[in-house]
Structure 1
């Protein structure tokens, strides 16, 4: 039983190290793009498709004033465009600009390429087990999110 506890602690420690490394990588990417970290997180959300300022606020947990400032920064840097709705001119949709989207995707491809290169010599069976273990770890994190509940300001899922 002690061995299982040690193995679980090793998994937890690895998860913490992964989180710290991803945080550093986010900082490096943000610096390369010349944006704040929240801006980068917002751009990752906008990569999924057009959204409204309200949806972006719910996703980030930021106030409407903070989201307006964030959108202003992203628009000034050429990352997003505001598009007025046809049916309701008061509604605004945020669209990520194709050129800057290409930059984001190129950085993602660079990171993925480096990871693929690093793992190129790892045996297939070990990669399969690693994938399964990371899937289980992700499920544990999803469970934790459900336990703690959504971020303040995030609408409940229907």
Structure 2
């Protein structure tokens, strides 16, 4: 394959990611959330409380990125962090009433995103499945490269 920008899947993924970031920025403005904050809130709406470690794993974020994100959500009054009674080394993240109350408005975002893509539900599901396979394969290849170094 020739070394041309138009031949690089990485650029297409990057360009799509930037386009989605821009769309989400607009869709989330009224919620007062950034895209990473929205993702954290989705995990919490789905299964709170979670430990900071579990949240980082779900979002594929390291603690250096996750900590400031949680501080901003806490400052906004949407979450609170507390030491686990069962294990003081663990910090639990919980929704506040304001954080829980944001969910109904946030539930409108996926439908608005779907409409903006021009894809139908089945096409988007197939695309998501392909992306997940791509991510898993690339993660495995990156691990092999790290091991070889």
**Any idea what SS the aligned residue of 2:46 has?**
coil
CA shift for structure 1 position 40: 2.0
Q: Which residue of 2 aligns with 1:24?
A: 22
Q: Which has the larger radius of gyration?
A: 1
Q: Which residue of 2 aligns with 1:39?
A: 37
What's the Cα RMSD here?
Answer: 3.4
How many residues end up aligned between the 2 structures?
126
- Residue 56, structure 1, aligned to residue 50, structure 2: no
Distance of aligned partners of 1:140 and 1:43 in 2 relative to their CA distance in 1, 3 Å threshold: same
Distance of aligned partners of 1:57 and 1:17 in 2 relative to their CA distance in 1, 3 Å threshold: closer
Deviates more, 1:91-100 or 1:53-62: 53-62
**Any idea what SS the aligned residue of 1:81 has?**
strand
**Any idea what SS the aligned residue of 1:106 has?**
helix
C-alpha offsets along residues 46-98 of structure 1, whole Å, 9 cap, x if unaligned?
A: 22212111122223343323322221111110111113322223321101223
C-alpha offsets along residues 84-137 of structure 1, whole Å, 9 cap, x if unaligned?
A: 322223321101223323223223236637978x9xxxxxxxx9xx44333332
Q: 5+ residue gaps in structure 2? A: 1-12, 143-149
Task: Find the aligned partners of 1:139 and 1:72 in 2 and give their Cα distance.
Answer: 33
Aligned pairs for 1:29-108 (under 5 A) are 29-49=27-47, 50-108=49-107
Q: Which residue of 1 aligns with 2:126?
A: 136
Q: 5+ residue gaps in structure 1? A: 1-14, 119-126, 153-158
Task: Find the aligned partners of 1:75 and 1:139 in 2 and give their Cα distance.
Answer: 33
* TM-score normalized by the length of structure 1: 0.60
Distance of aligned partners of 1:135 and 1:88 in 2 relative to their CA distance in 1, 3 Å threshold: closer
